[in-house]
Structure 1
Amino acid sequence: MDSDIFRHGGNTTCDIKQFTIITDKEMRNSMEYDVIIIGGGQAGLAMGFSLKQKNIHFVILDENEQTGMSWRKRYDSLHLFTPRSYSQLHGFHLKGDPNGFPEKNEIAAYLNAFKIKNDLPIIHQEKVIKLTQNEKQKFLVATPNKTHKAKQVVIATGAFYNPFVPNVHDGTANFEIHASQYRNPSQIPNGNVLIIGAGNTGVQIAAELSKTHQVTLSQSKPMKSIPQNIAGRSIFWWLETFRIGRAKPNSFIGKILREREPLIGNDYKTVQNNVEIVGRLSEIKEGKAYFNNGITKQVQNVIWATGYRNDYSWIQIDGVLSNQGRPLHSFGVTNVAGLYFIGLSWQRKRSSALIYGVSDDAKYIAQKIQQHEMK
């Protein structure tokens, strides 16, 4: 992989502290670390970089076969709605037009190059199946073949994990997939397509499929959109300039934004002009879709753009999760000493789950880890 896919920006030092490189064989035979990071996506890589800057001994465990693979598995036409200048980790900029929008394989290559450039120790194809603590308060990170030990753990599995499909259908449509399985229009059989969910993913897929299929889009609430550029500047430039991107979860602006997340880009206009838009889906039964506004439609193909749900059932430590299975944390710091999250939506601010926003969160968590070490 070309590790020169990025150039280093001027806002971050290039002088990375000396770090002992751990070979794959040594990592697999090793059993104990100061810190284990669970998850090797952008959040895990950002966290690893920040720990390396502080010369803290760590390892990243990742279930994928290669860094960036989760991006490569997404639909073929996917482009980020953040421009290259806002699609970076720790000041390492993507090559190319800084105002252009990178596609998924470009991001996958960038993340892999970031790992190589910074010699981040990762064990791939190492899926974590259980996290516990022993009587000495050390964390036990179990995988199918071994159990690793750590003084501290960062959960970097991200904001999205398991595809979610609501239980409102009987499986009688001819073809049904979740949006995570969608790749391109040739995958979808002839006939009409019902897309359930009008977030950014649902709207992007609807816009693409409208060129080849008759598409209906089910929305649970009216869509609101903002353009990618305003007055020649990226919308993210405006968000950062007015500090909206840094809005805290429980701030006045943060509460408004969390309730009214807008669509970003021009696909909304395509959908308005070429796609039938209906209300919330009530159920799909015997090949017919029923909507809350009284509309009924015969459906042939269904795509569930209904998002994801985190599955943290593998975390078996009291006090980490709510009764609903959601992380209990303050800016990523849990009530269990030495245990942290990173990469969650609205973890510390509006941009926490985006590539450009996770680096600040990683610096914050790394500081907390260092303080815990010094106790």
Structure 2
Amino acid sequence: MAVFESIDTLVVGAGQAGIAASAHLSENDIPHLVLEKDRVAESWRTRRWDSLVANGPAWHDCFPGMRFPSSGPEAFPPKAEVAEALNGFANEHNAPIRTGVEVRSLKRLNGRSGFVVETSQGTIEAQNVVAATGAFQHPVIPAVIPDNSSVTQMHSATYRNPDQLAKGAVLVVGAGSSGGQIADELQRAGRKVFLCVGPHDRPPRAYRGRDYCWWLGVLGHWDIPAQAPGAEHVTISVSGARGGETVDFRRMAHAGMTLLGRASGYDSGKLLIDGDLADNIALGDANYLDMLAQADAYIERFGLDLPEEPQAHELPADPACLINPVREVNLGNEGITTVIWATGYRQDFSWIELPKAFDGNGAPFHQRGVSPEPGLYFLGLPWQSRRGSTFIWGVWHDAVHVADQIEIQRNYREYRPATA
């Protein structure tokens, strides 16, 4: 017999978005329940490589009052510690989380407000539903290299460490934070590495004594409301590894890595490469140098006493693979046995059976997380309200707005005209 429950607000997902939503719903005294099909903060536990650390320092990548068990405020906590800190925060705030429960479908109730939600443990009715499953549901591997080729293909989501891979060279496709860090780790482990580099931003890890997270904050970049036209597919390459360091593709190449342009095709064992490597590296350099210039201007304007760092403006010489770009790679001849696709994810809201809530590509219509479907909300989406929306601290601020909107609508529903 199906279990029936009723709750004012149901939150789906107990990652950073769901935990933030719960904290703010509790602040507004809104009865709610959080469902999680795995464990709290599961993505941080098992869906990243072993050596992953936070890309921002602990003082920045956190909720207010969130405590990391081991790392100090300037450290970049390892993934297990981030999960532990999120779980500890949820416990301290008595978040009503129920784990091991999968949400299978959401439909609108007939003839009245609210939704009926089918789960692996029964049926729940809710006036409001917050989809806090984030943006990283399904890894994307472009259909470039055939499945029957001689190489093993995997997504960065299933990469764990160099020892996991077969002996031989490795091709990493994608030079955002994941691809750049994985390629660097493999090279340091003694592997021959090829790295496909697409358009990217490459900020300094730190400059003149301040982390780039601080610089983005004081310069107002975290609060940019939308990407510039044409920049939708520009990734950010930054790393907290080894205490935090600026990603430098030229340095990697001088150490033996072969940089390539974007992978565009495959023919008879050869990966075909676009001729855009120099342009992509130049784009990253421009982003890096612009950040330094903005920081220098800010320091001068406000008279800050921060140490000068002239060497930061000096770029290494171009490596051979940048001067004479490679346009095709014979995987067999180069000894490449593994291809790692660091090519992002696609969202999956197929469990929400409300077609008018999504566009033709399955992306939700919303205004700062508020769906045009009354009672439906989203949290943890990229650029939900600003550049920082997918970061731990960013989702905290988006959760404030979502919880406030739920409270506003509750007040409207409860309104009754005053009698004479």
C-alpha displacement at 1:141, in angstroms? Answer: 1.5
Aligned mates of 2:6, 2:383 — CA distance in 1: 31
Report if the CA contact (8 A) 1:207-1:267 is conserved.
no
The match for 1:364 among 375, 378, 401 is 401
CA distance in 2, matches of 1:237, 1:292: 36
In the other structure, the counterpart of 2:291 is none
User: What's the offset of the Cα at 1:129?
Assistant: 1.6
The aligned residue for residue 309 of structure 2 is none
Query: With structure 1 as the length reference, what TM-score do the two structures score?
Result: 0.87
Cα displacement string for residues 122-143 of structure 1 (whole angstroms, at most 9, x for unaligned residues): 1111111211101123211212
**Letter matched to residue 379 of structure 2:** I
Query: Which of 357, 363, 371 is the aligned partner of 1:326?
Result: 363
- What residue number does 2:86 align with? 111
Q: Which residue of 2 aligns with 1:23?
A: none
2:50 alignment counterpart: 76
Opposite residue 165 of structure 1, the aligned amino acid is I
Give 1:94 shift.
Answer: 3.1
Q: How far did residue 92 of structure 1 move?
A: 2.4
User: How far apart are the structure 2 equivalents of 1:129 and 1:63?
Assistant: 10
Deviations 1:282-322 (A, max 9, x none): 23455432223432321321111111000112111132100
Whichever residue aligns with residue 136 of structure 2, its letter is F
How many pairs were matched up? 343
Contact 1:36 1:59 in 2 (8 A): yes
Query: Aligned to 1:193, what secondary structure does the other structure show?
Result: strand
Greater CA drift, 340-349 or 233-242 = 233-242
Please give the alpha-carbon distance, in whole angstroms, between the structure 1 residues aligned to 2:152 and 2:58.
Answer: 36
**Cα-to-partner distance string for 1:215-264 (whole Å, 9 max, x where unaligned):** 1011233x4411221111111111111221111126xxx65875644322
Sequence identity, in percent? 33
Superposition RMSD in Å: 1.9
Give the letter for the 1:155 counterpart: A
Classify the secondary structure of the residue corresponding to 1:180: coil
Letter in 2 for 1:218: C
Corresponding residue number in structure 2 for 1:295: 328
Q: Judging changes above 3 Å, is the alpha-carbon distance between structure 1 residues 255 and 349 closer, same or farther for their aligned structure 2 residues? A: farther
Counterpart amino acid of residue 215 in structure 1:
V
Matching of residue 41 in structure 1 with residue 74 in structure 2: no
> 1:18 corresponds to which residue?
none
Partner SS state of residue 55, structure 1: coil
- In the alignment, the residues of structure 1 paired with residue 53 and residue 73 of structure 2 have an alpha-carbon distance, to the nearest angstrom, of 14
Distance 1:29 1:111, change over 3 A: farther
Please give the residue correspondences for 1:166-185 in structure 2 after superposition, counting only pairs within 5 Å: 166-171=142-147, 172-185=149-162
**Whole-angstrom distance in 1 between the partners of 2:371 and 2:262:** 36
2:120 maps to 144
Structure 2 unpaired stretches of 5+:
240-245, 276-326, 413-420
Distance 2:366 2:65 in 1: 27
Between Structure 1 and Structure 2, whose CA radius of gyration is higher? 2
Question: Would you say the 8 A contact 1:164–1:309 is kept in 2?
Answer: yes
| Structure with a larger share of its residues in helix | 2
- Aligned pairs (5 A) from 1:53-64: 53-64=27-38
Q: Greater CA deviation, 343-352 or 141-150?
A: 141-150
Aligned equivalents of 1:284, 1:304: Cα separation in 2: 15
Other-structure match for 1:273: 254
What is the distance in 2 between the residues matched to 1:123 and 1:147?
Answer: 14
SS at match of 1:370: helix
- Counterparts of 2:201 and 2:354, CA distance in 1: 40
Is the contact made by 1:79 and 1:101 (CA closer than 8 Å) also made in structure 2? yes
Displacement, 1:281? 1.1
Equivalence map 1:337-352=2 (5 Å): 337-352=374-389
Find the residue that maps to 1:264 and give its secondary structure: coil
CA–CA distance in structure 2, aligned partners of residues 367 and 324 of structure 1: 29
Going from structure 1 to structure 2, the CA distance change for 1:93 and 1:243 (only over 3 Å counts) comes to farther
Question: TM (normalized to structure 2)?
Answer: 0.78
Deviations 1:195-219 (A, max 9, x none): 1111110010000001221110112
SS at 1:289's partner residue?
strand
Residues 245-260 of structure 1 mapped to structure 2, 5 A cutoff: 245-249=222-226, 258=232, 260=234
Task: Verify the 8 A CA contact 2:66 2:86 in the aligned structure 1.
Answer: no
- Taking the aligned partners of 2:237 and 2:175, their CA distance within structure 1 comes to 9
Query: 1:87·1:93 contact (CA, 8 Å) conserved in 2?
Result: no
Match for residue 200 of structure 1 among 174, 177, 192: 177
Distance of 2:129 and 2:17 partners within structure 1: 14
Does the Cα contact within 8 Å between 1:287 and 1:300 map onto a contact in 2? no
Secondary structure class of the residue paired with 2:383: coil
Which residue of 2 is the match for residue 22 of structure 1? none
Aligned 8 A contact 2:68 2:84 in 1? no
C-alpha separation in 1, matches of 2:396 and 2:118: 27
Cα 1:291–1:256 change in 2 (3 A) is closer
Change in CA separation of 1:237 and 1:336 when aligned onto 2, cut-off 3 Å: same
Q: Which amino acid aligns with 1:143?
A: T
Q: Distance in 1 between matches of 2:142 and 2:232?
A: 22
Decide which of 246, 251, 265 is 1:283's aligned counterpart: 265
**Offset of residue 329 of structure 1:** 0.4
Partner of 2:131: 155
The structure-2 alpha-carbon separation of the partners of 1:219 and 1:234, relative to structure 1 and needing over 3 Å to count, comes to: same
- SS for the counterpart of 1:183 is coil
